[in-house]
Every structure is written in C-alpha cells, then in structure tokens.
A and B are shown apart, each in its own frame.
Chain A
Amino acid sequence: MRTYEVFLKKAGKEEFRHAGSLQAPDAEMARLLARDAYSRRGEGSEMWLVDRIHIIEGDKQLLAATADVSHRANDGSAVAARRKRLRNDA
C-alpha cells in the first residue's frame, strides 16, 4: 500500500487545499478510492493526488526559531496600542 496526499479545489478562484491522505495499492486505485473518501458530495471539482514519497520535507532545524526575535514580528498590536493611547490622550 502507498500513501497519497489528497488536494481538492472548488470551482472558481479557490486554490487547491489539502483534504487528507489516502491509502491505495497504486495511483489508479487511489484515483478511484479518493472520490468516496473525499469528494462524495461534490467537495471539490478538481483533485490532485500526490504520492507521499514525492513530498520534500522541510528541514525542522531550519524551521525552528533559533532565538527570541520577537522584535522582528510585527503584528500591528504595538501600533494599535500607541494609536489608542494617542486617541485617549486627545
């Protein structure tokens, strides 16, 4: 058995999204079985199946935050707090 990752795309401008994974003996069976597992009620109008062996996994070491660099993360909350303070002071 092989494992396939299933991606579905709805009609229109939506992008493909990961729907889940699937076990099947080969690609042809995967295509057949994926319909019942993931798109029985028209959840997608297009489907991609990717054999998991073809997925390149990112390096966890590189992904992990190496140090506290919160000063580089700007989610706007500091600006919002400052503007609120200025509004209240006015």
Chain B
Amino acid sequence: MTPPLELSAAAHSYLLAFADDEHMMGSRHANWIGLGPFLEEDLAFCSIAQDELGHALALYEMLVPANEIDRFALLRAPADYRSCALAELECATWDLALVRHWIYDLAEGLRWEALVQSSVEGLAELAVQAEREESFHRSHAQMYMERVVQDEEGRRRVDAALAEIAPHIGTVFAPPEFENDALEEGVASESFADLALRWFNMFEPQAAEFGLTLPALSLESSLDVRCTRTPGFADFHASLGEVISLDVQANW
C-alpha cells in the first residue's frame, strides 16, 4: 500500500477539486459507450473518458491511501465532492456532450499547464503526461466541431447546445478552498481567474471560426459553486456507487 503524500490543506483541496472534476467528466463521458454516433467516434470518445478517469485516479492516489480510493471516489457524501457543475452535468444529447467536451478540455489543458512546475511531489510529471493526452482531446474536439458546423443544421444544433451549457461554463473556474495559499506554496502557477481569461482568449476565436453565436458568459466563480451539487447529482452518484455498494469490503 502506497501512503498518500503529505499535503498542506491548500494543496489537498486544490487537487481534490481537479480530481473530482476529472472523475465526473470521465464518468459522464463513459455514459456514451456504445451510443456514439459511429463506431470509430464511439471508440475515440470512450478513450477520452478513460483518459479523464485515469487522471482522476492519479490525483486521488495523491490524496488517499490506495486501498481507500474506490470508497473515497464513489461513496463520499455528495456534499463532500468538490466537482464543478460543468463536469457534473448530464449531457443527455450528443450535441451537449460534444460541446461540453470542447469547452471542458480547452480549460483542462490550461489547468494542467498551471501544474507543470508544481511543488507537489510527482505532480509536475503527471501534468506533462496528462497535457500530452489533452492535446489529443483538443484536436478531437476541434476537428469534430469544425465538421459539424459546416452545415446549417449542425451549426444551429451546436449553437443551441452552447447556449444551454453556457450558464455552467464559469463553474469550471471556481477556485478551490485556500487557492491563494496553494499559489504561494507553488502547487499551481496560475490563479483560476487568470486561467478563465486565458480560456476565453482561446474559446472566443474558435467560436467565431465555427460561426457560433457567442453566449453571455460569467467566468467569475466562487468556492460555493464547488460545495453545491447540481440537480441530478444524487441519481448519478447512486449509479456510480451501485456496484461497489454490493459489497463495500470486497477486494476488487
């Protein structure tokens, strides 16, 4: 059993927010297994889901002992999760899932970049490796988007999905508790407020290139956002814990 790292409270909450976001994104993406628009896309999207779950696992390993990860990841009380609404959201249509993938992965890459010189042991290496995977995710989202917006109906549907997701976009930039301390300790090199600005500077020209209508966005977010669960979380959480709850003590 590998003991988790000795982390400061600030580092702990910083990593927890990221780990929970990745866990929720990976699990929500995985809901599309077998339902993707065509086989090759199904494989690519589920591979992205697995990458996100892999990132979540790598981060959880820094937070809790190896034999407690499953229970920690799946059976915490909903109030103890620190994921953002953008990651928790159920995207019940492919339009929404695609747009969220584009938006979230644009932000995720920036989050890893802010960790490539982290003072937390092993985190810099993880960030470099994860960012390599993210560059594939971004290419995937961008190429896919470029193609679906080429006809009128595609662009209209992406526009509608973007408008529906827009109110939640800012939540991914909600800072974790003790963000200032985390920045001082060198856990991360950039504040979430700065990441949000950089994200917007990447998002806006891409949205323009796709011919999309820019929705009203509020990118300022507070910690409360990470302490509140979205409607629908309870069902999702219950479904994630369904198997482990059959026998919580089992050694998988």
List chain A positions with a Cβ less than 8 A from chain B: 1, 22-26, 28-29, 32-33, 35-37, 40
The verdict on B71 contacting chain A, using a C-beta distance below 8 Å, is no
Contact across chains for B38 and A29 when beta carbons are under 8 A apart: no
Contact across chains for A37 and B40 when beta carbons are under 8 A apart: yes
Shortest Cβ distance from A57 into chain B, in angstroms? 24
Interchain CA distance A32-B147 in the complex, whole Å: 14
List chain B positions with a Cβ less than 8 A from chain A: 38-41, 43-44, 47, 136, 139-140, 143-144, 147
Contact across chains for A22 and B40 when beta carbons are under 8 A apart: yes
Listed from nearest, the 6 A-B pairs whose CB atoms lie closest are A33-B40, A36-B44, A36-B47, A36-B43, A37-B43, A33-B44
Shortest Cβ distance from A36 into chain B, in angstroms? 4
Q: List 18 A-B contacts (CB under 8 A).
A: A1-B38, A22-B40, A23-B38, A23-B39, A23-B40, A26-B147, A28-B143, A29-B144, A32-B136, A32-B140, A32-B143, A33-B41, A33-B44, A36-B43, A36-B44, A36-B47, A37-B44, A40-B47
Contact across chains for B139 and A25 when beta carbons are under 8 A apart: no
Contact across chains for B47 and A24 when beta carbons are under 8 A apart: no
CB < 8 Å neighbour of A29 from B39, B47, B143: B143
Q: Give the residues in chain A near B144, CB-CB below 8 Å.
A: 29
Given A1-B38, A23-B38, A29 contacting B147 (CB threshold 8 A): yes
Q: Give the residues in chain B near A24, CB-CB below 8 Å.
A: 40
Interchain CA distance A88-B43 in the complex, whole Å: 60
Chain B residue nearest in CB terms to A29? B143
Interchain CA distance A22-B38 in the complex, whole Å: 10
Contact across chains for B43 and A33 when beta carbons are under 8 A apart: yes
Shortest Cβ distance from A30 into chain B, in angstroms? 8
Shortest Cβ distance from B105 into chain A, in angstroms? 14
Q: Give the residues in chain A near B40, CB-CB below 8 Å.
A: 22-24, 33, 36-37
Q: Give the residues in chain A near B147, CB-CB below 8 Å.
A: 25-26, 29
Shortest Cβ distance from B94 into chain A, in angstroms? 15
Contact across chains for A32 and B43 when beta carbons are under 8 A apart: no
Chain B residue nearest in CB terms to A28? B143
Q: Give the residues in chain A near B38, CB-CB below 8 Å.
A: 1, 23
Chain B residue nearest in CB terms to A40? B47
Q: Give the residues in chain B near A37, CB-CB below 8 Å.
A: 39-40, 43-44
Shortest Cβ distance from B55 into chain A, in angstroms? 17
Interchain CA distance A22-B43 in the complex, whole Å: 11
Greatest chain B CB density within 10 A among A22, A28, A37 is at A37
Chain A residue nearest in CB terms to B44? A36
